[in-house]
Amino acid sequence: MQNDPTVRLTAVRRLYEVSARMGAGRSLAETLQAVVDGVVTGLGFGIAVLNLRHADGKFEVIAVAGSPEAREALLGRVSAPDIFDTEFAIADAWGKLRFVPHERLPEGEVVGWVPDVPVSDDPGAWHPLDALFAPLYSSDGELVGMLSVDLPEDQRRPGPIHRELLEIFATQAGVAIDKARLADQLLAEKTRLEASEATFRLVFEGAGNGMATIGFDGPDRGRILRVNDAFCRITGYAANDLLGARLAQFLRDEEPQSTRTDLEDVATSNGTYRFERVFTQPSGNAIWLGGTAAIVEQGADRPRILLIQIDDVTARKDAERELRHHAAHDPLTGLPNRRLLQHRFTKALERTRMTGRPGALLFCDLNHFKLVNDGYGHEAGDRALREIANRLTTAVRHGDTVARLGGDEFAVLAEDISGDDLTTLIARLESAVSRPLPNIAVEVTTSVGTVPITPTTTNLDTLLHEADQAMYDAKNRRI
């Protein structure tokens, strides 16, 4: 179930939703509550507790979600800086997460609040004394808090997908908390900015994330007026290269006018605009910047400026893209899986109905492949499947889709093809597979069944069934 693409895609969507809600908080308190609410409503845990780390190293429970009893028992509790050291010493490291199984806890009185739920005899079930922690770090690597979760919705110890999602969420939460904390500090300073430019300069230059001021009105509209060292470090540009330049020339913004309208709306509501944009560094390398923008009034008869804060969120975007890739591709061969084949088939059928030109679905089943697994082992079989997948991909035309359906079955989706061209394609596939496999003496071949894709074709499942039957007819003819 953990590798089910449907499960992974659903989990990714839930991660996106809770991350968006978490990032919508305007203050530290709102962000902290959004973090625990996101864990409970979006990541599948019944209880979430957030300990915020103070400047003296002590931890305080600031936000609790999922259980009124836990909230009453834990909210406001302050603990020593080493409160988690003992448990982490006996914990399993799940990436950046720390899991403390109940069976390793020393005998004696249990410290803290324990949910009153039944205990299962299943060794894979979640036990009320199990504990799972996610340390929260700022973008600079500073520990800003500790997130603990309890009562998974499926009542089992989390598997790889849910661990990975919780770890990604914790990474974003740490940065969001750090930014919200800084935003609170900036908000507190805002009332003094008009009287003290020096105070603003200290906050601006000392911030750990990138900050800049941009002209919002007047002749300097869109031009960069000031940057801090962190902004230069993140973007790769020297301050002299940025000052006076238009920020738009570095950003990839598909809808600049829409962005401007959104900022005007933020200005009227005194709020904060959140964005993610692709930024081009001097080397030509593209990175993802995530940040906030707030419009600052400079007083009567003075143009407004835009105060922006940025962080490099490329790693998170890459992780999200990888999760989307896993949801649509076969993990062994990297070929599209059935979900992606369905998506491309839908588009191909639309084009066939529009143009009237037929396509074809080819069902390829490998002959004698079981002898490879039986004689050489499954590791060699996996290598052989990857080799065959590469051969099939090379044999088809540009634009054709090769997908793995499972086991030793593959499908090829080919548009605008019939007659001799289809016969040639089948021959190329059969020839590609029948070449000897490296270090394997078994003669593996393929039987190919084909069915046309016409304007009257209805759905992929029916087409696959018909192609499967055609493949068996071809296999019997081969015999």
CATH number, domain at 245?
Answer: 3.30.450.20
Q: Backbone phi, then psi, for 61, in 5-degree steps?
A: -70, 110
pLDDT at 162: 82
- 10 and 144 inside one domain: yes
Average pLDDT estimate for 446-451: 94
- 166 and 307 inside one domain: no
Count of domains forming the chain = 3
What CATH code is carried by the domain that includes residue 444? Answer: 3.30.70.270
Residue 97 lies in a domain: yes
Task: Identify whether the C-beta of residue 148 lies closer than 8 Å to the C-beta of residue 49.
Answer: yes
Instruction: Choose one of 295, 317, 339: the last residue of a domain.
Output: 317
Provide the pLDDT confidence category of residue 199 given band limits of 50, 70 and 90.
very low
Residue 322 lies in a domain: no
Measured between alpha carbons, how far is 451 from 236 in angstroms, rounded to an integer? 54
- 138 and 214 inside one domain: no
- 312 and 375 inside one domain: no
Residue 324 lies in a domain: no
Token couple for 152? 């998974």
Q: How far is CA 454 from CA 398, 402, 448, 451, in A?
A: 20, 19, 19, 9
- 204 and 312 inside one domain: yes
- 223 and 90 inside one domain: no
Q: How far is CA 149 from CA 115, 160, 332, 357, 399, in A?
A: 12, 16, 33, 55, 46
Residue 292 lies in a domain: yes
Predicted confidence (pLDDT) at residue 479 exceeds the cutoff of 60: no
Average pLDDT estimate for 89-96: 92
Whether the model clears a pTM of 0.85, i.e. scores above it, the answer is: no
Measured between alpha carbons, how far is 157 from 92 in angstroms, rounded to an integer? 12
Residue 188 lies in a domain: no
- 173 and 24 inside one domain: yes
- 313 and 244 inside one domain: yes
Residue 228 lies in a domain: yes
Q: Can you give the residue range of the structural domain that contains 342?
A: 329-478
Instruction: Choose one of 317, 347, 377: the last residue of a domain.
Output: 317
> Which range, 113-117, 118-122, 178-182, 398-402, is most confident?
398-402
Average pLDDT estimate for 326-348: 88
pLDDT at 303: 85
| Residue position matching structure tokens 């190329």 | 428
Predicted confidence (pLDDT) at residue 130 exceeds the cutoff of 60: yes
Mean per-residue pLDDT of the chain: 84
204 Cβ neighbours under 8 A, 6+ residues apart = 211, 226, 228
DSSP secondary-structure letter at 78?
E
Measured between alpha carbons, how far is 142 from 429 in angstroms, rounded to an integer? 55
| HSE-CB for 387 with a 13 A CA cutoff | 18
- 158 and 254 inside one domain: no
- 128 and 169 inside one domain: yes
- 64 and 161 inside one domain: yes
CA dihedral (444, 445, 447, 450) in degrees, to 10, reads 120
Provide the pLDDT confidence category of residue 119 given band limits of 50, 70 and 90.
confident
Average pLDDT estimate for 235-239: 90
Pick from 187, 310, 316: nearest CA to 247: 310
pLDDT in tens, 148-171: 999 998 889 988 888 888 888 888
Average pLDDT estimate for 436-443: 92
Residue 187 lies in a domain: no
Token couple for 274? 């959140």
pLDDT at 1: 40
Task: Identify whether the C-beta of residue 242 lies closer than 8 Å to the C-beta of residue 232.
Answer: yes
What CATH code is carried by the domain that includes residue 41? Answer: 3.30.450.40
Instruction: Choose one of 122, 157, 181: the last residue of a domain.
Output: 181
Measured between alpha carbons, how far is 99 from 120 in angstroms, rounded to an integer? 18
What 3-state class would DSSP assign to 110?
coil
Residue 342 lies in a domain: yes
CA dihedral (153, 156, 162, 168) in degrees, to 10, reads 90
Average pLDDT estimate for 113-135: 88
| DSSP E strand boundaries for 216-344 | 224-227, 251-252, 273-280, 286-296, 305-312
**Segment holding 406, helix H or strand E:** strand 401-406
- 177 and 211 inside one domain: no
